[in-house]
Structures are given as structure tokens and as C-alpha cells.
């Protein structure tokens, strides 16, 4: 049987505790430094930062782990990549030459008074031509006259005897009025007793008298 002395046993436990404390300190240092180990990576790809060798900071000894983690530099500055903007045409071509004022005819011509023909055309009353026979023979007469834009107009009295009279009416606007009065002689037929003429229509009264072969007119 082996005999282990109490001092050796205590020394061994002290060494184990020191190594455990060392390993725990190293693990906390890795966690504090923000180093992560990919669980899916192979063992050869994993890295860990081990503490320095027991020789202290001035010791030139190297770690037995050749894959020491290199701190990944953190880019604390904003990305230097510049954004490319598509230039937008902000100026829209417009017709800057605009009429500042539109000339308008502000004066609206209004008829203050409507010219009307206030002079109502007066209707010219018709004219009457009257012939009376006071002689012992038969009498007849004709009246002719003109009107605007119409042919020559004429009227006939018919035959009337002694102490008779006939009146013919012509338009008041008639012009070139002519009267022809005849008597009947019985031997030579109808012969002219007298004539009358007027530039404008007018009302007249003519009296036929005398004898068969020596008839005459008065009036008109």
C-alpha cells in the first residue's frame, strides 16, 4: 500500500485549485472581451485567448495554443460608402413671358336711345271727282292716274242724263290725274266737252252745261 502524506495531498489539491481558478479566469476574460466561438466550426477552427505563461508579463514564453484569437476590429465609424443619387430636374420650364394685363374693352357700347321713326306716315285720304250734267244731252267721263310701280289706272263713269251726276274716287297718292268729259250729239256721236289735268290727286266738282253742239264745263 502506498502512503500519501498529508502535506503532499494538500499540495496536490492546491495545484488543482490554482489551475481551475486559472481556467475560470481565462474563460471570464474571453467572455468580457466579447469573443465568441462558433459551435458549428471544427475544433481546428476554434480559437481561444489563453492567459500568459507563468513567467509573467516579461516572460518570452509563447502560448501552447497556436490559434489565438485576433480581436476583430469594430468599425465604430459610419459606413464610408457614399450613396449615389439620381439627379432630379427640379426646374420645370415654364413660359415666363406672360401678359401682365389683358386689354379688354371695358366700355360696353349701349344704345341710350333706339332711333325710331316717330313720324307716323299719314294716310292721304282718297280724292273724289264729281261731274254734274245740267244740259239736255247724255254725258260720260273718264279719269286716268298713276300709282308708284303700277301701270296707268283708269275709271269710267258710265252714261248719265240731264240733271244727274256721277262721282268717281281715286287714291289720295295718285299722280298725273287726267279727266275727259264727253256729251252725246246723236249725229256725230260722242264728242269732247272739256278736259282737266292735275299733278296730284285732288277732289273737284265739274258742271257740264250748254247745248248739244255748244256744250261747256265749269269748275274743277
What number of other Cβ atoms are within 10 A of residue 177's Cβ? 21
Distances (CA, A) of 194 to 8, 129, 139, 205: 197, 14, 11, 13
* Cell triple for 7: 502535506
* Segment 149-196, tens digit of pLDDT: 999 999 999 999 999 999 999 999 999 999 999 999 999 999 999 999
Confidence of residue 123 (pLDDT cuts 50, 70, 90): confident
Rounded to 5°, the CA angle 43-44-49 comes to: 85
Q: What is the pLDDT of residue 122?
A: 78
Domain boundaries, the chain: 1-33+45-53, 127-219
The CATH number assigned to the domain with range 127-219 reads 2.60.40.1430
Which is higher by pLDDT, 120 or 3? Answer: 120
Q: How far is C-alpha 91 from the chain's CA centre?
A: 30
| Predicted structure pTM score | 0.47
Least confident of 5-9, 38-42, 142-146, 151-155: 38-42
pLDDT confidence bin for 118, thresholds 50/70/90:
low
If DSSP codes are grouped into helix, strand and coil, which group holds residue 216?
Answer: strand
Phi/psi class of residue 108: alpha, beta or left (left: φ > 0; alpha: ψ in -120 to 50)? beta
Of 109 and 136, the one with more pLDDT = 136
Amino acid at each position: 500500500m502506498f502512503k500519501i502524506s498529508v502535506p503532499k495531498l494538500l499540495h496536490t489539491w492546491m495545484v488543482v485549485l490554482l489551475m481551475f481558478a486559472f481556467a475560470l479566469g481565462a474563460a471570464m476574460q474571453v467572455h468580457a472581451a466579447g469573443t465568441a466561438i462558433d459551435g458549428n466550426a471544427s475544433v481546428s477552427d476554434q480559437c481561444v485567448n489563453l492567459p500568459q505563461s507563468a513567467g509573467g508579463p516579461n516572460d518570452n514564453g509563447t502560448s501552447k495554443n497556436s490559434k489565438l484569437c485576433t480581436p476583430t476590429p469594430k468599425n465604430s465609424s459610419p459606413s464610408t460608402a457614399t450613396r449615389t443619387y439620381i439627379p432630379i430636374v427640379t426646374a420645370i420650364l415654364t413660359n415666363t413671358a406672360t401678359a401682365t394685363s389683358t386689354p379688354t374693352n371695358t366700355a360696353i357700347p349701349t344704345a341710350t336711345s333706339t332711333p325710331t321713326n316717330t313720324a307716323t306716315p299719314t294716310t292721304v285720304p282718297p280724292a273724289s271727282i264729281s261731274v254734274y250734267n245740267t244740259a239736255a244731252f247724255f254725258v260720260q267721263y273718264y279719269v286716268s292716274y298713276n300709282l308708284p310701280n303700277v301701270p296707268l289706272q283708269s275709271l269710267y263713269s258710265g252714261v248719265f242724263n240731264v240733271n244727274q251726276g256721277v262721282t268717281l274716287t281715286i287714291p289720295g297718292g295718285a299722280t298725273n290725274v287726267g279727266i275727259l268729259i264727253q256729251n252725246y250729239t246723236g249725229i256725230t256721236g260722242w264728242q269732247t266737252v272739256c278736259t282737266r289735268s292735275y299733278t296730284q290727286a285732288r277732289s273737284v266738282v265739274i258742271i257740264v252745261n250748254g247745248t248739244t253742239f255748244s256744250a261747256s264745263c265749269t269748275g274743277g
